[in-house]
């Protein structure tokens, strides 16, 4: 960087020594995190090994949690006096602004009551609709047309690709509180490199669905148990261009969803049981991470965690320690899942296809409704 105008005379050559990192430098974010975490650790907080942006402090039966995202901070806990003392410590070391009870954080609206906590992104959705010029569009009942097969060759190439990429990027963040659009957004994000007109039409259809469901979000009840349940599923050879499969999972704590994912596989599979088992392995990794996170913050979850899938072959592979000719190529996934089964972390269970919650993350909403009916 160069000194500001007027600070250096013409012909002079010298360097400046920084006493603290300047905003905008490459190392500024790391320096800020190091200083903030050091202040909390000196006060008695501990890092969460599962998530280094989460800090926790326990004093007897009372506890405080601090969640950091760049320079936005959320503080919560079980004791108001302990929370106030943490705020006073932060006020002494940093210039912070106390915004009171949490109502809005990173585009997520928070509403609390004695019955539970609700999260939504209504304001964020309305901004997307206004920026895209679809505030007055006709609402839609589903996020994607029935039996729609998007490819990378149909239709005319968009002249302004950056607007499509920006719009889909904003929709990706919307899946934080809207798991019902995760599959559609995942499909649309696969055409960011060269979007065509049918892809933009599909985005507009999704926005019409968002207009009809602008206030939807997540609700977490105070009466919910701490029992984890996981659902995993796959859709074999879903991609019409590459014939790769799509896997998805959803994890609940009580009746409240806390983690979900939709992902297209990197390779082509000739065996449907392999895809289901890979979905089980991916879900098992997420359950393992969640168990570490709960352990760090002092909560114990009942084990084993029920892992529901609707593929009988995958369940047989998990229960059978012998590798046959058609299952040798999934040996690593088998070892991962079986290890967690032997450690009583998970317990795979059969579930009817009509009751498979993870269908929402591998198929369009039309197909899920048809299967359930």
- Tens-place pLDDT, residues 193-224: 889 999 999 999 999 999 999 989 999 998 88
One domain for residues 52 and 168: no
Name the band, by pLDDT with cuts 50, 70 and 90, for residue 123: very high
How far apart, in whole angstroms, are the C-alpha atoms of residue 238 and residue 245? Answer: 5
CATH number at residue 364: 3.30.420.10
CB 115 within 8 A of CB 222: yes
pLDDT at 366: 61
d(CA 369, CA 300): 36
CB 156 within 8 A of CB 338: no
Q: Are residues 251 and 284 in the same domain?
A: yes
Q: What is the DSSP letter of 157?
A: B
Identify whether 6 is part of a domain. no
Average of pLDDT values for 246-269? 86
At 244 the pLDDT is 81
Task: Count up the domains in the chain and report the number.
Answer: 3
Q: What is the pLDDT of residues 359-369, one digit of tens each?
A: 888 887 765 65
Instruction: Verify that 365 and 230 share a domain, yes or no.
Output: yes
Question: For 57-102, what is each residue's pLDDT tens digit?
Answer: 988 888 899 999 988 899 998 888 999 999 999 999 888 888 889 9
Residue 169 has pLDDT above 90, yes or no: yes
Residue 7 forms part of a structural domain: no
Residues 238 and 335 in one domain: yes
Q: What percent of the chain is modeled with pLDDT above 90? A: 34
The bridge status of strand 62-69 relative to strand 72-77 is antiparallel
> Quick one: pLDDT at residue 316?
77
CA gyration radius, the chain: 24
pLDDT of the residue at 39: 92
Q: Are residues 324 and 206 in the same domain?
A: no
What pLDDT is recorded for position 295? Answer: 87
One domain, residues 168 and 274: no
Based on the fold, state whether residues 368 and 229 are members of the same structural domain: yes
Return the pLDDT at 270: 64
Is 218 a domain residue?
A: no
46-47/54-59 β-pairing: antiparallel
Residues 314 and 358 both lie in one domain? yes
Is 204 part of any domain?
yes
**Average pLDDT over the chain, rounded to an integer:** 85
Asked if 207 and 234 sit in the same domain, the reply is no
- Same domain, residue pair 289 and 348: yes
Domain assignment present for 330: yes
113: left (phi over 0), alpha (psi -120 to 50) or beta: beta
Where among 212, 240, 270 does a domain terminate? Answer: 212
Residue 113 in any domain: the answer is no
Predicted TM-score (pTM) of the model is 0.85
Q: What's the confidence (pLDDT) of residue 254? A: 87
Provide the pLDDT confidence category of residue 313 given band limits of 50, 70 and 90. confident
Domain that holds residue 174: 120-212
Q: How confident is the model at residue 309 (pLDDT cuts 50, 70, 90)?
A: confident
Tell me how far apart the alpha carbons of residues 337 and 280 are, in angstroms, rounded to a whole number. 7
Question: Residue 78 belongs to a domain with what CATH number?
Answer: 3.30.310
Is residue 75 domain-shared with residue 160, that is, in the same domain? no
pLDDT at 175: 93
pLDDT at 12: 73
Q: Evaluate if residue 168 carries a pLDDT over 80.
A: yes
355, 257: one domain: yes
Q: Are 283 and 340 a contacting pair, CB within 8 Å?
A: no
User: pLDDT confidence of 341, banded at 50, 70, 90?
Assistant: confident
User: According to the model, what pLDDT value does residue 142 have?
Assistant: 87
């Amino acid at each position: 960087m160069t000194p500001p105008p007027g600070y250096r005379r013409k012909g002079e050559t010298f360097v400046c020594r920084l006493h603290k990192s300047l905003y905008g430098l490459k190392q500024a974010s790391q320096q800020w995190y190091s200083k903030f975490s050091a202040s909390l650790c000196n006060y008695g907080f501990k890092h969460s090994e599962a998530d280094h942006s989460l800090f926790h402090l326990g004093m007897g039966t009372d506890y405080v949690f601090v969640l950091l995202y760049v320079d936005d901070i959320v503080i919560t806990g079980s004791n108001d006096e302990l929370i106030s003392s943490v705020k006073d410590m932060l006020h002494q070391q940093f210039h912070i602004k106390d915004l009171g009870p949490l109502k809005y954080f990173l585009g997520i609206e928070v509403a609390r009551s004695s019955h539970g906590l609700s999260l939504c992104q209504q304001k964020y959705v309305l901004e997307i609709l206004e920026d895209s010029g679809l505030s007055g569009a006709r609402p839609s009942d589903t996020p994607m047309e029935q039996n729609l097969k998007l490819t990378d060759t149909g239709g005319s190439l968009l002249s302004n690709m950056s607007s499509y990429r920006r719009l889909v990027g904003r929709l990706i963040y919307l899946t934080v509180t809207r798991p019902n659009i995760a599959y559609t957004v995942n499909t649309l994000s696969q055409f960011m490199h060269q979007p065509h007109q049918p892809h933009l039409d599909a985005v507009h259809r999704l926005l019409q669905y968002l207009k009809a469901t602008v206030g939807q979000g997540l609700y977490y009840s105070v009466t919910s148990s701490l029992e984890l349940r996981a659902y995993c599923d796959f859709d074999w050879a879903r991609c019409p261009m590459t014939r790769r499969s799509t896997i998805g999972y959803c994890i609940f704590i009580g009746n409240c969803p806390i983690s979900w994912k939709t992902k297209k596989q990197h390779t082509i599979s000739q065996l449907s049981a392999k895809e289901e088992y890979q979905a089980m392995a991916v879900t098992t990794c997420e359950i393992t991470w969640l168990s570490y996170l709960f352990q760090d913050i002092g909560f114990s979850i009942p084990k084993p965690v029920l892992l529901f899938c609707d593929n009988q072959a995958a369940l047989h592979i998990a229960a059978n320690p012998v590798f046959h000719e058609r299952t040798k190529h999934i040996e690593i996934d088998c070892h991962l899942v079986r290890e967690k089964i032997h450690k009583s972390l998970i317990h795979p269970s059969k579930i009817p296809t009509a009751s498979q919650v993870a269908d929402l993350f591998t198929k369009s909403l039309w197909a899920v409704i048809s299967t359930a009916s």
